[in-house]
Chains A and B, each alone.
Chain A
Amino acid sequence: MALFKRVENAIDASIGRRRLGYIALSLITLYFLWFPNDASQSDYYKTVFISGFFYAIMASSWALLAGIAGQFSFGHMAFMGIGAYVAGLIARDGILVAALGIQVGPDYISAVGAILIGTIVAGLVGLVIGWLLLRLRSAYLALFTIAFSELFRIMMLTEYDYTGGSNGLSLRQLLEIADVGVARQVEYYLMFFLLIVCLLAMYWVANSPIGLFLRAMREDEDAASALGVNVVRYKIAIFVFTSMIVGLAGAIFYSDVGSERIIPEQLEVLQMSLIIAYAVIGGMESLIGAAAGAFICRYMLEAMRKVVIGLPFGMTTADGSTEFVWEPGAWRYALFGVVTVFTLRWMRNGLLYPFITWFSGRDIAMKETVSIRADDEAAPDALEGGSA
Chain B
Amino acid sequence: MNRKALSLSLIALMALLALFPLGIAQADEDCEFADYTITLGGLAPMSAPGAVAGGVAMDWAFAQAAADINAACGVEIDGAHYQLEVITGDSEGSPERGQAVAERLILEDEVDGMVGVYHSAVGLATMGVMEENGIPTIFSEPWNDNVSANGIREFDGAAPRFDDGIDHIFRISPTSSMVGSVVTDWLIALGVQDVILIVENTDYGQPAAADEQARLEAAGVTVSQIDIELGTEDFVPILSRIQARAMPPDAIRIVVTGETSFNLTQQMAELGIAPTPETICVTNQIAFQHVQYWATVPDGNYCAFNRVGIIPSLFNELAVELNTGYEEAFGDIVPSFGMASYDAVWMMKDAMERAGSYSDAAAIVAAIEASDITLTQGRYYFDYGAHNPDLPEGTPAYMWHQWPDPIVTVMQYFEQGQSSLEAAVVYPEVYQTHGSAYIAPGTSP
- B-contacting residues of A (Cβ < 8 Å)? 42-44, 47-48, 51, 157-158, 160-161, 165-168, 170, 180, 258-266, 268, 270-271, 302, 305-306, 318, 329-330, 333
Name the contact of A48 in the complex, choosing from B21, B100, B158 (C-beta under 8 A).
B100
Q: Please, could you name 30 A-B residue pairs with CB atoms under 8 Å apart, sorted by A?
A: A43-B103, A44-B104, A48-B100, A51-B96, A51-B100, A157-B202, A158-B203, A166-B120, A167-B120, A167-B124, A168-B95, A170-B124, A180-B132, A259-B95, A260-B125, A260-B128, A263-B94, A263-B95, A263-B121, A265-B93, A266-B94, A270-B48, A270-B49, A271-B49, A302-B104, A305-B90, A306-B109, A318-B21, A329-B46, A333-B47
Please determine whether A47 and B103 come into contact, CB atoms closer than 8 angstroms: yes
CB neighbours (8 Å) of B218 from chain A are: none
Identify the closest chain A residue to B133 (Cβ): A180
Chain B residues 37-96 with CB under 8 Å of chain A are 46-49, 89-90, 93-96
Q: Are A268 and B96 in contact (CB under 8 A)?
A: no
Given A302-B104, A305-B101, A330-B46, answer yes or no on A158-B202 (Cβ-Cβ < 8 Å).
yes
19 extra interchain contacts, Cβ-Cβ under 8 A, other than A259-B99, A261-B121? A44-B103, A44-B104, A44-B108, A47-B99, A48-B100, A157-B203, A158-B206, A166-B121, A166-B203, A167-B121, A167-B124, A260-B99, A261-B95, A262-B95, A263-B94, A263-B121, A305-B89, A305-B90, A329-B90
Residues of B within 8 A of A51 (CB): 96, 100
What residues of B have a CB within 8 angstroms of the CB of A263 in the complex? 94-95, 121
Say yes or no for B316: interface residue by CB 8 A criterion.
no
Residues of A within 8 A of B201 (CB): 158
With both beta carbons as reference points, the residue of chain B lying nearest to A271 in the complex is identified as B49
Query: With A160-B206, A167-B121, A305-B90 known to touch, is A265 a contact of B158 (CB < 8 Å)?
Result: no
Contacts of B202 in A (CB 8 A): 157-158
Q: Please report the C-alpha to C-alpha distance between residue A203 and residue B103 in the assembled complex, in whole angstroms.
A: 34
Is A302 in contact with B121, judged by CB distance below 8 angstroms? no
Determine if B95 and A44 form an interchain contact, defined as CB atoms under 8 angstroms apart.
Answer: no
Q: Could you give, for residues 104-130 of chain B, a 1 whenever the CB lies within 8 Å of some chain A CB and a 0 otherwise?
A: 101111000000000111001100100
Choose among A42, A168, A329 the residue that contacts B125 (Cβ–Cβ < 8 A): A168
Q: Are B120 and A42 in contact (CB under 8 A)?
A: no
- Which residues on the B side are within 8 Å of A165 (C-beta)? 203, 207
Contact residues in A for B357 (Cβ distance below 8 Å): none
CB distance from A94 to the nearest CB of B (A): 17
Residues of A within 8 A of B90 (CB): 305, 329-330
- B7 to chain A minimum Cβ distance, whole angstroms, is 23
Residue of A nearest to B120 (CB): A167
Residue of A nearest to B125 (CB): A260
B296: Cβ under 8 A from any A Cβ: no
A302 lies within 8 A of B206 (CB): no
State the CA gap A260–B124 with chains docked (Å). Answer: 9
Closest A residue, CB atoms, query B103: A44
Given the known A-B contacts A157-B202, A160-B206, are A265 and B100 also in contact in the complex, defined by CB atoms under 8 Å? Answer: no
A167-B121, A170-B124, A265-B49 are known contacts. Are A305 and B104 too (CB-CB below 8 A)?
Answer: yes
What CA separation (Å) do A306 and B111 show in the bound complex? 15
Q: Number of residue pairs across A and B with beta carbons under 8 Å?
A: 88
The 9 closest A-B pairs by CB, nearest first: A165-B203, A259-B96, A42-B107, A44-B103, A168-B121, A157-B203, A44-B107, A265-B49, A260-B125
Residue numbers in A under 8 Å from B106 (CB-CB)? 44
Q: Shortest beta-carbon distance, B307 to chain A, in Å?
A: 22
Interface residues of chain B: helix, strand, loop or mixed (majority):
helix
CB distance from B33 to the nearest CB of A (A): 12
| B144: interface (CB < 8 Å) | yes
Interface size on B, residues (CB 8 A): 35
- Pick the contact of B96 from A157, A170, A266, A305 — CB < 8 Å? A266
Interface flags for B158-182 (1: CB within 8 Å of A; 0: not) read: 1000000000000000000000000
A72 to B: closest C-beta gap in Å: 23
Are the CB atoms of B21 and A47 closer together than 8 Å? Answer: no
CB distance from A308 to the nearest CB of B (A): 9
How far, in angstroms, from A167 to B101 measured CA to CA in the complex? 19
CB distance A160 to B207 under 8 Å?
yes
Q: Are B95 and A260 in contact (CB under 8 A)?
A: yes
Which residue on chain A has the smallest CB distance to residue B163?
Answer: A178
Residue of B nearest to A169 (CB): B121
Minimum CB distance partner of B157 in chain A: A170
Among A43, A48, A168, A264: residue with most chain B CB under 10 A: A168
- Choose among B46, B89, B94, B109 the residue with the greatest number of A CB atoms under 10 Å from its CB: B94
Residues from chain A with Cβ under 8 Å of B204 in the complex: 166
Find chain A residues with CB under 8 A from B108 CB.
42, 44
- In the complex, the answer to whether B49 meets A261 with C-beta atoms within 8 Å is no
**Which of B21, B101, B203 counts the most chain A CB atoms within 10 A?**
B203
**A329 CB contacts on chain B under 8 angstroms:** 46, 90
In the bound complex, residues from chain A placing their C-beta under 8 Å from that of B203 are 157-158, 160, 165-166, 264
The smallest C-beta distance from B202 to any residue of chain A, in angstroms, reads 7
**In the complex, A47→B106 CA distance in Å?**
13
Smallest beta-carbon distance B231→chain A, Å? 14
Known: A265-B93, A305-B89, A318-B21. A44 touches B144 (CB 8 A): no
Name the residue of chain A whose CB is nearest to the CB of B210.
A161
Report the minimum CB–CB distance from B305 to chain A (whole Å): 23
Is A258 within 8 A of B96, CB to CB?
yes
Q: How far is the CA of A42 from the CA of B106 in the complex (A)?
A: 10
Give chain B residues whose Cβ lies under 8 Å from the Cβ of A260: 95, 99, 124-125, 128
What's the Cα separation between A160 and B121 when bound, in Å?
13
Q: How far is the CA of A44 from the CA of B103 in the complex (A)?
A: 5
Min CB distance A50 to B, Å, is: 9
Cα A160 to Cα B205 with chains together (Å): 11
- Which residue of B has the minimal Cβ distance to A157? B203
With most chain A CB atoms within 10 A of its CB, the pick from B89, B93, B104 is B104
Tell me the smallest distance from the CB of A367 to a CB of chain B, in Å.
43
Give CA–CA (A265, B100) in the complex, Å: 17
Q: Does B132 lie within 8 Å of A302, measured CB to CB? A: no
Residue from B104, B107, B124, B158 in contact with A168 in the complex, judged by beta carbons closer than 8 Å: B124
Considering the chains assembled together, what is the distance between the CA atoms of A212 and B207 in angstroms? 51
Chain A nearest CB, measured from B283 CB (Å): 22
A72 to B220, CA, bound (A): 55
Q: Which residues of B contact A157 (CB under 8 A)?
A: 202-203
Contact, CB under 8 Å: A167 / B144: yes
Given contacts A265-B93, A333-B47, are A47 and B100 in contact (CB under 8 A)?
A: yes
Cα distance, A291 to B308, chains bound together (Å)? 45
Tell whether, in the assembled complex, residue B49 and residue A268 are in contact, meaning their CB atoms are under 8 Å apart: yes
Give the residues in chain B near A262, CB-CB below 8 Å.
95
Shortest distance between the CB of A85 and any CB in chain B (Å): 14
Closest to A42 in B: B107
Nearest residue in A to B128 (C-beta to C-beta)? A260
Whether B124 pairs with A261 at a CB distance below 8 angstroms is yes
Asked if B100 contacts A302 (CB within 8 A), the reply is yes
Query: B141 CB to closest chain A CB, in angstroms?
Result: 14
Nearest CB in chain B to that of A168: its residue: B121
Please give the distance in Å from A316's CB to the nearest CB on chain B.
15
Distance A305 CA – B95 CA, assembled complex (angstroms): 17
